[in-house]
């Protein structure tokens, strides 16, 4: 996978969605329904995972396994 499409836990949800919009489906199934809200603009994937009780490393792995469109 090229660095251009690599999702990192330090990225905000908004940044990650710009890189790979198709990750929205995974985030939604994991309980992250506020993808377009103000919080998503400043909340990192790591912070969101913590709030939702998710393993951030597993989440990032799943997000990066999706092929870019």
Domain ranges for the chain? 3-65
Calpha distance 7→64 (Å, rounded): 6
pLDDT one-digit tens code per residue, 19-59: 999 999 999 999 887 777 777 788 999 999 999 999 999 99
Calpha distance 2→6 (Å, rounded): 7
- CATH superfamily, domain 3-65, is SP0561-like (1.10.3910.10)
Predicted confidence band at 2 (pLDDT cuts at 50, 70, 90)?
A: low
pLDDT for 62 equals 95
Q: Which of 32, 39, 37, 4 is nearest to 18 (CA)?
A: 4
| Residue 59, H or E segment | helix 56-65
């Amino acid at each position: 996978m090229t660095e251009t499409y690599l999702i990192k836990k330090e990225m905000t949800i908004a940044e990650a969605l710009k890189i790979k919009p198709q990750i929205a489906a995974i985030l939604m199934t994991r309980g992250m329904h506020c993808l377009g809200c103000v919080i998503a603009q400043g909340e990192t994937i790591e912070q969101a995972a913590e709030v939702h009780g998710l393993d951030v490393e597993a989440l990032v792995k799943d997000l990066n396994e999706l092929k870019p469109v």
